[in-house]
Structure 1
Amino acid sequence: MLQAMRNKMHGWPAIILLGISVFAMSFFGMEGYLTSSSDMSVAKVGKHEISQNDMQDRLNLLRQRANAEQGDQFDTSIFEKPEMKLRVLNSMIDQQLLLKANDDFGLTVSDQAVRDYIASIPAFQVDGHFDPTSYSAVLASQRKTPEMFEAEVRSDLAVQLLPRAIDASTIIPAADAERFLALRMQRRDVRYFLLPRPTISDAKVTDEQIDAYYKAHLADYTDPERVSVKYIEVNGADLASASAPSDEELRKRYADEKQRFVQPEQRLVSHILIDVPANATPEQQKAALAKANDIAAHATPEDFAELARKDSQDLGSKRQGGDLGWLERGVTNPAFESAMLAMTKGQISKPVLSPEGYHIIWLRDVRSGDAKPFEEVRDTLVKEATAADKDRLYNEVAGKLSDNTYQNPSSLEPASEALKLPIKETPLFSRAGGEGVAANPKVVAAAFSDDVLAQGNNSGLIDLGGDHSVVIHVDKHLPSTPRALADVRGDVHDRIIDERVAAEAKTQAQALLARLQKGDSMEDVAASSKLDVTAVKNALRVQADLPPSIRDHAFLLPHPADGKPQYASVDMGKGVYALLALDKVQPGDLSDVTADQRESLRQQMAQAYGAEATSELIEILRSRTEIKINKERL
């Protein structure tokens, strides 16, 4: 094509085109032709960008959590659906709005809060106490440094600052909790009887009626556009494992990376914290120092834990007698670390000032750092080497597949032959997705794209996550077509009958309801249809022996007035109706509700009100912030 253009670029057309190009460059600037946009954000919240990598990291994290919770029941495709991605993105936008609000209000997460949270994570504990070795091992397995993880924790805690402050400031008066309890435990006396599905007199359906209904509801009987695709997949889990590394290779790796397996020096520490507010007055600072000096002067190893439980203001360690577990360099703030490292075993320090306040530190024990022997870490080295080889092999095969299918866009055969990978097929599927790889929205989007569907080209390499990717090529394409009337005739007939039955049932129910509302007794009305009335006294909102539809409707009816029942008809579905009478409403009996249950309810109500207030705050922040979402990048 370039050669054809070159052949035609002579004479006056070339002069005109050149003139236009010069004008365009002078008008818009040369940089528009020499640079490309680096904006690959999924969304912008004010000046903050949420990148595609940020979005993918969040999806991966949620996917891992869901997989851990649900196990074999986990649906791997759920996080590929556009509506789920949009929900996750909106959550990330809300979090960014809260972080910006923290800056505006001057709210920050203290180093102590980060340390306390990390120390409370069970995966980092041994015998209920924080263990630096476990901490380092877990982070290494996730390919994270302590600084990276602490930044993540700080960010997570920062998102919770405002919601928790709102929760803490939400006050639920005892009277409100009592009223809610009385409403929740309200009792209602109800009677009802069921009208069975009626037998209609007009059960004949003509061909003309079937034809008319079919045409009027043609969309219900139209098969959507569908395709089937052929595809080649590269799955890291299926690739042949490379040969196990030799002992010599492993020992070399151990020698090169020996520092990874050195257990750093650790110190078993307890402390007592006397808090100093960030905006403390000089008098408050003096009072805190005086209190810390007094505690330090009287503290001994024998009574240190009791003093910590009594006086420490570090809620994270107070109940454990100030126990912080085994600590190493880089875990605490510089002032605390410097004092801790300068102490000898058994020593209790004088007050040490840090951003959180004054610490009295007791160094209970010290263990020096030792390197783990090769034999102890050999299995870890084997796993790492094998995983690295698999990653390399996957990237190599996936890269070759991408190159080959791009160079031969009209067929998968050349790539299949060159890479010895089979060509697989899917059943027909619509834009709503299908089975197997066709359940993945990325595959569906590619299958129905212009380049693949209309132009007949291979897709690009589609990353399905987890070292799994495919290239697809459309095999069959069926446009959207109505199903023949002959094929759906039975369904059309049944629908017409069902609609007639539903109409007849509603008419019957309304007629009986009118009789009740005019003053006829429910027993007489039921008897006229040879039906029995069921009475349920003191029904609760969770009444098990009441059909859910009747129970829910009974608690929506207004209170009976002047001793007259409230009546209603209830559609039970499939042509069945119920006639319902509400005879009496009584407040809940709260005599058996304990003080702890009442307090628990108040806390739940406070959280509910706090969550609603937080949602309202986020809506206000959204209205005041420019937010742009690039849905095509989801």
Structure 2
Amino acid sequence: MLEKLREGSQGPVAKIILGLVILSFALAGVGSYIATPSEQLAAEVNGEAISRAEFDQAYQNERSRLEGQYGAAFNQLAADPAYMAQFRQNVLDRMVSERLLNQAAEKYGLRVSDAQVKSQILNMPEFQVDGRFDNDRYLAVLYRANLQPSQFRDLIRNDLTRQQLQQALLGSEFALPSEAEMLVKLNQQTRDVRYVTVPVENFAQQQAPSEEDLKAYYEERKNTFQTEESVDVEYIVVDTSKIAEGVVVDEQDIQQFYDANSQSYTQAEKRKVAHIQISFTDDEAADKAKAEALLVKINQGEDFAALAAEASDETFSAENGGELGWFESGVLPTEFDSALFALANEGDVSEVVKTESGFHLIKLIEIETAQVKPLDDVKVQISQRLQQEQAQNTFYEQAQRLAEVSFEIPDSLVDVASETGLTVETVKGLTRSSANALLNQPQVINQLFNPDFIAEGLNSDAIQLEDDSSVVVRVMAHQAAEIKPFEEVEAQIAEGLTQSRSNKAAQDYADSLIAALQSGEGLDGLLYEQNLQVDSKVKVSRDSQDFEPQVIRHLFMMAKPSEQKAASRIATMNGDQLVLQVTAVNDQDTVAPVETERWLEQLSSIKVEASYQVLINVLKSKAEIQYLL
């Protein structure tokens, strides 16, 4: 038989098959070298990608902003997994909306010049010290936001372009004074009301369910009285932030990094500048001639500051003798910047320079030469960076090692921890609703409650979480959902059924009061039956504290009183029924102009916001959007 096999393997068919097998392995091997892993995406908008890295950065920036604004209050909210899931979705929705607006702006050919971008940055209060742009503050703020200047300029350019689009499409929104006045009158309107409070507790004893009622209710709704499915879990987590806490950066490493990157800590040359600006009019030649005449006066010895105060069209700087402040190269418009940094000596004045805003005469007031910041000024910054880098490197090593060992030892995380030097954490009775913040991630929960994974009893693959952390989990025991016995839930059913019947009885009684109020007959007898009385309030306003907010809203939704004497009921927060009858509506005869003006602004803003949302909805309805998180 072996001889026949040997002969068969030498035939032409066998050689062809063998060749194809070798070729397939060769191509697969080459493919593994040349193939590059695809970038993780958060979403796609009309084929344009929003990368996971972009989303993570936007998420972290928004989270940092809210932490800085609300402090501990935000941290309490962040402990709620449902809130944070909605928070992440809101960030992604905003990014999708921005991408749609960018695409629409590009479609309509909207553009923003470099000068507009620079002007926007220079005037942002976040980068100003004592009312003037400060380059050190600018770079520091960008560093904290993990942004390069080029990235930030692109963000500003996109934001300004979107503003152009919104202004073009929404800038025509307006509100009429008559609309604002009507809203003011409605807001200041008050109402007189008669009301009866029907306590739900008055009907509790009347509605006590029998044993048969409780058992019948239980039999009909058994599936609603189940225990929650749970698992006992072991897990090992590798987290960059935890690693960073234990990283101690050596002084020598800080010094070496400082020496190797001294250029990054060099304060570039700065120049203090003043200018005289002659803005463009209909006669550009005359504008230039005016600038040249001023230059002649300066060259003849007249005072630059006095001429700036007298003749400059840029009034803000003219008040200060034309002074603009300190600037590094590359911040001001190109033509202005080139002329300024071409001046050799303090006190020199340029020739006439033309920019987008007009003609300029530029004076170099003072030069501050480039200098390296001392190590003490940047030591903390360098230490934090090295700490993060070392933690990141350690994280990759530990995460890789954890993934390898948990695969090699698939049935014990204790042994994996022993091999890797990491720590096993244990949670017993974990349910989908009780998972801690780390495990309450969709990919982890889905893994833990996957029936096949539970049945295997093996370690999971390494699961990548947000914020540079990775976890391996294993289910030690599983408790399926079970129907609770009647005795265990009897008291719960009795309380719920009694409450439900009491509410229904209180509602029915309130409806009978409404009928009596409207007809004017039989009301006293009904009130006597439950020892109730009719109360009244006059001039109840929209911000009144006399009733709960939902009652106030209901009261102002009721129709004006007529011959029919309409009444209505609403439940209070404790379950009581409140029967209401509006007896009078009090309108304001006159409205203060200042109030009308305030509401006019608010109404215009509301209309713009509503139109903006319509715009986004229209763009979304016509777009192909894939959410990939």
Aligned to 2:474, the other structure's residue is in SS state strand
Q: How does 1:48-59 map to 2 (within 5 A)?
A: 48-59=48-59
Would you say 1:92 and 2:95 are equivalent positions? yes
Q: Which residue of 2 aligns with 1:618?
A: 616
Q: Which residue of 2 aligns with 1:245?
A: 250
Q: Which residue of 2 aligns with 1:606?
A: 604
Q: Give the partner amino acid of 2:162.
A: V
Q: Which residue of 2 aligns with 1:312?
A: 314
Q: Which residue of 2 aligns with 1:534?
A: 535
Aligned to 2:533, the other structure's residue is in SS state coil
Would you say 1:187 and 2:190 are equivalent positions? yes
Aligned to 2:112, the other structure's residue is in SS state coil
Aligned to 1:409, the other structure's residue is in SS state coil
Q: Give the partner amino acid of 1:332.
A: L
User: How far off its partner does 1:541 sit?
Assistant: 1.0
Residue 502 of structure 1 contacts residue 574 of structure 1 at CA under 8 Å; is this kept in 2? no
Alpha-carbon distance change, 356 to 389 in structure 1, aligned in 2, over 3 angstroms: same
Q: Which residue of 1 aligns with 2:263?
A: 259
Q: Give the partner amino acid of 2:409.
A: N
Aligned to 1:438, the other structure's residue is in SS state coil
| Alignment partners' CA distance in 1, 2:320 and 2:603 | 31
| Alignment partners' CA distance in 2, 1:325 and 1:301 | 14
Aligned to 1:555, the other structure's residue is in SS state helix
User: How far off its partner does 1:406 sit?
Assistant: 2.3
Would you say 1:223 and 2:224 are equivalent positions? no
| Alignment partners' CA distance in 2, 1:454 and 1:359 | 79
- The range that moved more, 506-515 or 370-379, is 370-379
Q: Which residue of 2 aligns with 1:60?
A: 60
Q: Which residue of 2 aligns with 1:583?
A: 583
Q: Which residue of 1 aligns with 2:373?
A: 372
TM-score by length of 2: 0.83
Residue 433 of structure 1 contacts residue 440 of structure 1 at CA under 8 Å; is this kept in 2? no
Q: How does 1:63-74 map to 2 (within 5 A)?
A: 63-73=63-73, 74=75
| Alignment partners' CA distance in 2, 1:572 and 1:514 | 20
Aligned to 2:372, the other structure's residue is in SS state coil
| Alignment partners' CA distance in 1, 2:383 and 2:481 | 54
Q: How does 1:11-50 map to 2 (within 5 A)?
A: 38=38, 40-50=40-50
| Alignment partners' CA distance in 1, 2:42 and 2:376 | 47
Find the partner of 1:209 among 207, 213, 218.
Answer: 213
Q: How does 1:317-466 map to 2 (within 5 A)?
A: 324-343=324-343, 345-346=346-347, 352-355=353-356, 358=359, 361-432=362-433, 434-449=435-450, 452-466=453-467
User: How far off its partner does 1:313 sit?
Assistant: 8.8
Residue 238 of structure 2 contacts residue 399 of structure 2 at CA under 8 Å; is this kept in 1? yes
User: How far off its partner does 1:513 sit?
Assistant: 0.6
Deviations for 1:557-587, whole angstroms, at most 9, x for unmatched residues?
111235x643112222555211111111122
Which stretches in structure 1 are left out of the alignment for 5+ residues?
1-8, 26-30, 277-281
Residue 232 of structure 1 contacts residue 421 of structure 1 at CA under 8 Å; is this kept in 2? yes
User: How far off its partner does 1:588 sit?
Assistant: 3.3
Q: Give the partner amino acid of 2:544.
A: Q
| Alignment partners' CA distance in 1, 2:351 and 2:484 | 86
| Alignment partners' CA distance in 1, 2:311 and 2:367 | 22
User: How far off its partner does 1:212 sit?
Assistant: 1.9
- How many residues align structurally? 602
Alpha-carbon distance change, 375 to 313 in structure 1, aligned in 2, over 3 angstroms: closer
Find the partner of 1:130 among 130, 133, 153.
Answer: 133
Residue 270 of structure 2 contacts residue 367 of structure 2 at CA under 8 Å; is this kept in 1? yes
| Alignment partners' CA distance in 2, 1:320 and 1:472 | 67
Deviations for 1:175-232, whole angstroms, at most 9, x for unmatched residues?
1111111112112111212112233565442333212212333343222322232111
Aligned to 1:353, the other structure's residue is in SS state strand
Residue 517 of structure 2 contacts residue 523 of structure 2 at CA under 8 Å; is this kept in 1? yes
Aligned to 1:582, the other structure's residue is in SS state strand
Residue 81 of structure 2 contacts residue 440 of structure 2 at CA under 8 Å; is this kept in 1? no
Residue 79 of structure 2 contacts residue 437 of structure 2 at CA under 8 Å; is this kept in 1? no
| Alignment partners' CA distance in 2, 1:208 and 1:546 | 40
| Alignment partners' CA distance in 1, 2:597 and 2:287 | 34
- The range that moved more, 579-588 or 218-227, is 218-227
Alpha-carbon distance change, 391 to 49 in structure 1, aligned in 2, over 3 angstroms: closer
Aligned to 1:155, the other structure's residue is in SS state helix
Residue 131 of structure 1 contacts residue 325 of structure 1 at CA under 8 Å; is this kept in 2? no
Q: Which residue of 2 aligns with 1:479?
A: 480
Aligned to 2:581, the other structure's residue is in SS state strand
Residue 309 of structure 2 contacts residue 319 of structure 2 at CA under 8 Å; is this kept in 1? no
- The range that moved more, 453-462 or 331-340, is 453-462
Residue 80 of structure 1 contacts residue 442 of structure 1 at CA under 8 Å; is this kept in 2? no
Alpha-carbon distance change, 370 to 588 in structure 1, aligned in 2, over 3 angstroms: same
Aligned to 2:477, the other structure's residue is in SS state strand
Q: Which residue of 2 aligns with 1:629?
A: 626
Would you say 1:560 and 2:565 are equivalent positions? no
Aligned to 1:43, the other structure's residue is in SS state strand
Aligned to 1:426, the other structure's residue is in SS state strand
Aligned to 2:429, the other structure's residue is in SS state coil
Alpha-carbon distance change, 209 to 329 in structure 1, aligned in 2, over 3 angstroms: same
Alpha-carbon distance change, 227 to 161 in structure 1, aligned in 2, over 3 angstroms: farther
Aligned to 2:233, the other structure's residue is in SS state strand
User: How far off its partner does 1:379 sit?
Assistant: 4.3
TM-score by length of 1: 0.83
Q: Which residue of 2 aligns with 1:153?
A: 156
Q: Which residue of 2 aligns with 1:513?
A: 514
- The range that moved more, 409-418 or 287-296, is 287-296
Deviations for 1:232-266, whole angstroms, at most 9, x for unmatched residues?
1223444474554244x544333322212221111
Q: Give the partner amino acid of 2:625.
A: K
User: How far off its partner does 1:159 sit?
Assistant: 3.1
Alpha-carbon distance change, 361 to 555 in structure 1, aligned in 2, over 3 angstroms: farther
Which stretches in structure 2 are left out of the alignment for 5+ residues?
1-7, 25-29, 298-302
Residue 59 of structure 1 contacts residue 79 of structure 1 at CA under 8 Å; is this kept in 2? no
Aligned to 2:539, the other structure's residue is in SS state strand
Aligned to 2:175, the other structure's residue is in SS state coil
